[in-house]
Amino acid sequence: MLKAWVPLLWLVPVAACGPASSGVGIDEGGGSLTSPSTEISAGVPTTSAGSSGEPVDAVAWTYTHDGATNQRDVAIGVAVDKAGRIIVVGAETGKTQDGLLIALSPEGKELWRRTFDGLAGREDDFLAVVLDDDGRIFVAGSEEVAPDERTSIVRAFDAEGGELWRFAEEPAFPGYADITALALADGALYSVGTDGIMGGGGLFTVRRHEPDTGALGWRTATQAGRKGAYGAGITATVERVIGVGYVRDEDIQPLMVVLDPAGAIISETLQENPRGFWNDIVPIGRAGDLMLVGGTFMPGVINRDVIVRRVDANFAEQWSRMYEHEMLEDMGLSVAVSANEAIFVAGAVTSVGTAGEHKDILGARYTAEGTLLWTDLHDHPVAHAADFGMAAAAGPGFFVLAGYETTPDHGADVWVRRYNDD
């Protein structure tokens, strides 16, 4: 299912999203804003803490956006091009929920913002984004085509957000379908997601697309021998395609599916212990190593921890690190790796305050060897509700984290933060 809105037991209801508001505000430490809806603030958040408790000075700026209807607006995916331009995708609420596409400069200035309605004019969202060397923007997600019926989509745009093509494929059993991650390799575009099936289960679904047209090259789906298998992350090379997610039957187990370039399944691997799920996978280094991130728990344990793992090209574990905030529900949702093998994890943790339990955005910086350098936690200073770090990306000399924060008076706002990493 959908790591974006419903990370397993973390049910985050989504209302409907829509037309963007205009204007950009800059706050350099107390200055006035030119728009109430879009804001960039500079400085170090008070909730940052390094491994020794000192403030983290890596934060360069934070961008937030509230749509024109002051409802629920969220960032779910993020990517950075070679020049450092940041592309954010998600959803914005107006009369209906529409796919959202935002371009930001490396300095956090909004360059342009677009919303896109699906063909049926119903509830739609963008969940993932990847960029090619020609500047094309590929996004994936889900569109509602009828009440309680969704189709998976991939759409392509030029560098300025102009539409190029749209791919859509409804599941064999009308109901739920999405695409949650994309990868480019060897002149092809790969996607992973989930198609709902009869009885409430899911099919872990991988597709190969033609980048110039969106045409489907092949489609491979599996239940991995369980009631439901759900796709969350994907990476690819010339030799193979690797998708990750989880299965859900009597319990929840991490799943890794390896395919050849023609779409044949080479292997399906379920992790017995600890239990949990993988949400993302990216390459690291030149030897074919991989970074994975997700949530993990031991059998019989309700609360989950963030898990970060490095494996070699043959999937042998090099190291694993678990992060626990306050012995409650924590989850890693995305991982990014820089050219020098610096690692950045995005996710969410559960904190306890005077208003009770609430979710906070998590950003965590690890070394290539797995040493945790610092973490950054963000909690909306008034709402203390559901704040999620959904996606991470690496740029030239920085990382960026995209997600959303719940506000006290208008649902949720898009939330994007840059961390310098020179």
Give yes or no for residue 4 having a pLDDT over 50.
Answer: no
List the structure tokens of 316.
Answer: 């042998």
The Cβ of residue 121 has, within 10 Å, a number of other Cβ atoms equal to 12
Give me the CATH number covering residue 74. Answer: 2.120.10.30
Say which residue, 329 or 204, is predicted with more confidence: 204
Of 131, 69, 65, 181, the C-alpha closest to 417 is 65
Residue 230 lies in a domain: yes
In this prediction, residues 307-313 reach a mean pLDDT of: 97
* Paired sense of beta strands 25-27 and 38-42, if any: parallel
Strands (E), 186-338: 188-196, 202-209, 216-222, 228-236, 241-248, 252-259, 265-270, 275-284, 289-297, 305-311, 317-323, 331-337
Residue 281 lies in a domain: yes
Let me know how many helices (H) and strands (E) the chain has, helices first: 0, 31
How far apart CA 330 and CA 322 sit, in angstroms, is 10
Query: What digits encode the pLDDT tens for the residues 335-355?
Result: 999 999 999 999 999 988 877
Residue 126 lies in a domain: yes
How far apart CA 264 and CA 119 sit, in angstroms, is 32
Domain enclosing residue 178, as ranges: 25-420
What is residue 72's predicted lDDT score, i.e. its pLDDT?
84
- 344 and 280 in contact (C-beta within 8 Å)? no
> Structural domain tally of the chain?
1
In this prediction, residues 131-146 reach a mean pLDDT of: 94
List the structure tokens of 319.
Answer: 């190291």
The Cβ of residue 36 has, within 10 Å, a number of other Cβ atoms equal to 11
- 261 and 254 in contact (C-beta within 8 Å)? no
% of the chain surpassing 90 pLDDT = 66
Query: What digits encode the pLDDT tens for the residues 27-59?
Result: 222 222 223 355 665 544 434 555 455 666 899
Q: Confidence band (pLDDT; 50, 70, 90) for 69?
A: confident
Give yes or no for residue 20 having a pLDDT over 70.
Answer: no
List the structure tokens of 110.
Answer: 């909004």
Residue 275 lies in a domain: yes
Residue 393 lies in a domain: yes
What is residue 363's predicted lDDT score, i.e. its pLDDT?
96
Residue 309 lies in a domain: yes
Buried/exposed 393-414: b ≥16 CB within 10 Å, e otherwise: bbbeebbbbbbbbbbeebbbbb
What is residue 170's predicted lDDT score, i.e. its pLDDT?
83
What is residue 39's predicted lDDT score, i.e. its pLDDT?
64
What is residue 42's predicted lDDT score, i.e. its pLDDT?
53
Q: Confidence band (pLDDT; 50, 70, 90) for 301?
A: low
Residue with tokens 């559901």: 386
What is residue 24's predicted lDDT score, i.e. its pLDDT?
29
How far apart CA 278 and CA 246 sit, in angstroms, is 6
How far apart CA 396 and CA 59 sit, in angstroms, is 15
List the structure tokens of 195.
Answer: 């198609």
Residue 20 lies in a domain: no
What is residue 31's predicted lDDT score, i.e. its pLDDT?
23
Mean pLDDT, rounded, of the chain:
86
Residue 380 lies in a domain: yes
SS3 87: strand
**Count of residues for the chain?**
422
Contacts 24+ apart (CB under 8 A), 314-317: 315/256, 315/269, 315/290
In this prediction, residues 401-416 reach a mean pLDDT of: 92
Say which residue, 303 or 309, is predicted with more confidence: 309
In this prediction, residues 379-401 reach a mean pLDDT of: 93
In this prediction, residues 24-29 reach a mean pLDDT of: 27
Which range, of 33-37, 79-83, 84-88, 283-287, averages the lowest pLDDT?
33-37
